[in-house]
Amino acid sequence: MQKPTLRLILGDQLNHQHSWYQQKDQNIFYVLMEIRQETNYVNHHIQKIIAFFTAMRAFAEDLRTQGHRVIYLKLDDEKNTQSLTNNLDNLIQELDIEIFEYQQPDEYRLSEQLKDFAQKSGCDTEHFMISPTDFSDFFKGKKTFLMENFYRMMRKKYGILMDGSEPLTGQWNYDADNRKKLPNNHRPIEPITFDKDVSQIYNLVQKQEIKTIGRINPKAFIWATTRTESLALLDFFVENCLENFGTYEDAMHPSYWSIYHSRLSFSMNVKLISPLEIIEKSVKFWEENQDKISISQIEGFARQIIGWREYMRGIYWTKMPDYENLNYFNHERKLPNWFWNGQTKMNCLKHSVGQSLDFAYAHHIQRLMIIGNFSLLAGIHPDQVDEWYLGVYIDAIQWVEITNTRGMSQYADGGIVGSKPYVASANYIDKMSHYCGTCFYDKSKKTGFKACPFNSLYWDFYDRHADKLSKNPRIGMAYVTWNKMQPSQKAEILKQAEIYLNDIENL
Ligand SMILES: Cc1cc2nc3c(=O)[nH]c(=O)nc-3n(C[C@H](O)[C@H](O)[C@H](O)COP(=O)(O)OP(=O)(O)OC[C@H]3O[C@@H](n4cnc5c(N)ncnc54)[C@H](O)[C@@H]3O)c2cc1C
Ligand code: SF4
């Protein structure tokens, strides 16, 4: 029998397959806690808090059913001090604990807090496919952190879609075949939802007066919060969405909020399901259904999970804590208030922000090329952008939120994650979406009445940051076009941008 041991399980460490649970020992106490320290470090979407607490409660119940000893501190438990370390101190005293163990947190903030508390590092969460040390070894001595090289290494390392050391079909990247707009008469599949009554937890959060954002129907909560539901979500994805995943991964539409996306990010980020099992299942399904699923679909999906997701985590651990203060363009503007209610005349933003508030979800291109693009063009302070993204999305945990937001989308890291800023005018948005057709603004106008704000803000951004961007070989063409414009036209565009930025609350 082990000495009395306390093992901490954080809200995003719900890994049923962790080796901890292979051993059953009545001297090992597992603790999970709902604490204000976590509900309050940022203003979260109500669905995000409910998803975490629902998943944690189900996980605790499952461990108990398997015969483990579990302590679960609910938000309103009278013993709950609402602080992680104070609760741990009390439990250690109360239960005469001799050994304290924890799994390495994914967030820098919690990692530091627990390192101070325990005076040692935590054990592995047994979830990710590459360790932070192996990640930095891979990039040691290299000038840039090129995702494509990392992704190819991961494909080789795990033998995913490989024929020996070569890609299965002779080609690593199918991006060129993907990324199409939804055809006009195309109706994507209705997403599977789980429609659970979460009123009890919802009422608790309300009663405790936790400040939240966004909307919820607590009688029919849509998200997967158990392993069984997460596996059902994965089955639904491979059977119904994979065949169109790559083709429409960048498409946007005002009537469809998830198109063919998997919506597995929450389940994966809280570790109810592992990236490797998702990839193995998807690849197997593709192998058995090659008559209807092309290689470009499965390659596109694998790239997101074994490529981007693992890459972002590696960048986070290589670059924190400095990363969270980077502001390459010295942007200072405040986020407009309509980010919290979706009330803007810009149709693309109305729908992308609106669905983020309705579902705590937007897909990658809505996050990057609509909301992030606008924030960058408008020169919003990256702290404000980060805070909004970290709060609003169901899957937002700092390691994957900040690298995507501050890095990929705001280029506030000066080019660690991306080789150029992701900015675009209405031309791109119209090419990939059905937003512009019914917009108040005119996508084809740069200046004047109803001119699309993206058009003038786009040139204003390049003009403002010419000192930092004009020498970037990947952007050169934009400056050639800008410099060819007549000075009077340039002045008109910059004036239009100024008018819009001064009236940002009413756009
Ligand atoms: C500004 C911005 C902020 C983001 N914030 C988050 C965040 O807080 N949490 C989060 O999990 N993802 C974040 N992403 C990445 C991506 O948008 C989401 O993972 C994805 O939209 C989740 O939906 P899905 O599960 O339907 O994804 P799918 O489109 O079905 O993709 C499958 C999986 O690939 C992974 N993935 C895809 N792209 C990325 C990426 N760029 N980085 C990491 N993983 C990726 C996710 O795990 C996702 O579940 C952000 C992207 C941007 C541009
Ligand atoms: S016209 Fe401009 S603001 Fe309107 S939807 Fe298109 S890109 Fe967005």
Could you report the per-residue pLDDT of 264-273, keeping only the tens digit for each? 999 999 999 9
How many A from CA of 368 to the centre of ligand 1?
Answer: 10
- Look at residue 179 in the predicted model and tell me its pLDDT: 84
Is the pTM here over 0.85, yes or no?
yes
For residue 370, give the ligand 2 atom closest to its CA.
8
Sheet containing 5-8: which strands, arranged edge to edge?
69-73, 28-33, 5-8, 99-102
- Find the range with the poorest average confidence among 4-8, 179-183, 291-295, 473-477: 473-477
**Mean pLDDT score of the chain, rounded to an integer?**
96
Residue 385 in contact with residue 410, Cβ under 8 Å? yes
Ligand closest to 362 (CA) is 1
Residue 395 in contact with residue 265, Cβ under 8 Å? yes
Say if residue 325's pLDDT is above 90. Answer: yes
What is the band of 476 on the pLDDT scale with cuts at 50, 70, 90? confident
- Look at residue 178 in the predicted model and tell me its pLDDT: 80
Ligand 2 contact via 370 beta carbon (within 6 Å): no
**146-185: pLDDT as tens digits:** 999 999 999 999 999 999 999 998 999 988 888 899 999 9
Ligand 1 contact via 408 beta carbon (within 6 Å): yes
* Closest Cα to atom 7 of ligand 2: 426
**420-447: pLDDT as tens digits:** 999 999 999 999 999 999 999 999 999 9
Ligand 2 contact via 29 beta carbon (within 6 Å): no
How many A from CA of 196 to the centre of ligand 1?
Answer: 24
* Closest Cα to atom 8 of ligand 2: 348
How many A from CA of 128 to the centre of ligand 2?
Answer: 38
What is the band of 505 on the pLDDT scale with cuts at 50, 70, 90? very high
**27-65: pLDDT as tens digits:** 999 999 999 999 999 999 999 999 999 999 999 999 999
- Look at residue 79 in the predicted model and tell me its pLDDT: 96
**111-157: pLDDT as tens digits:** 999 999 999 889 999 999 999 999 999 999 998 999 999 999 999 99
Residue 175 in contact with residue 300, Cβ under 8 Å? yes
How many A from CA of 418 to the centre of ligand 1?
Answer: 15
What is the band of 216 on the pLDDT scale with cuts at 50, 70, 90? very high
Ligand 2 contact via 369 beta carbon (within 6 Å): no
- Look at residue 95 in the predicted model and tell me its pLDDT: 96
Distances (CA, A) of 66 to 1, 22, 212, 363, 444: 18, 10, 34, 36, 62
What is the band of 499 on the pLDDT scale with cuts at 50, 70, 90? very high
* Closest Cα to atom 3 of ligand 2: 346
Say if residue 461's pLDDT is above 90. Answer: yes
Say if residue 16's pLDDT is above 90. Answer: yes
Ligand 2 contact via 373 beta carbon (within 6 Å): no
Say if residue 418's pLDDT is above 80. Answer: yes
For residue 452, give the ligand 2 atom closest to its CA.
2
DSSP-H helix ranges across 100-224: 108-118, 132-139, 147-158, 199-207
Ligand 2 contact via 454 beta carbon (within 6 Å): yes
Tokens of 158: 């795990």
- Find the range with the poorest average confidence among 23-32, 48-57, 93-102, 468-477: 468-477
User: CA 17, CA 378: separation in Å to the nearest integer?
Assistant: 45
Ligand closest to 45 (CA) is 1
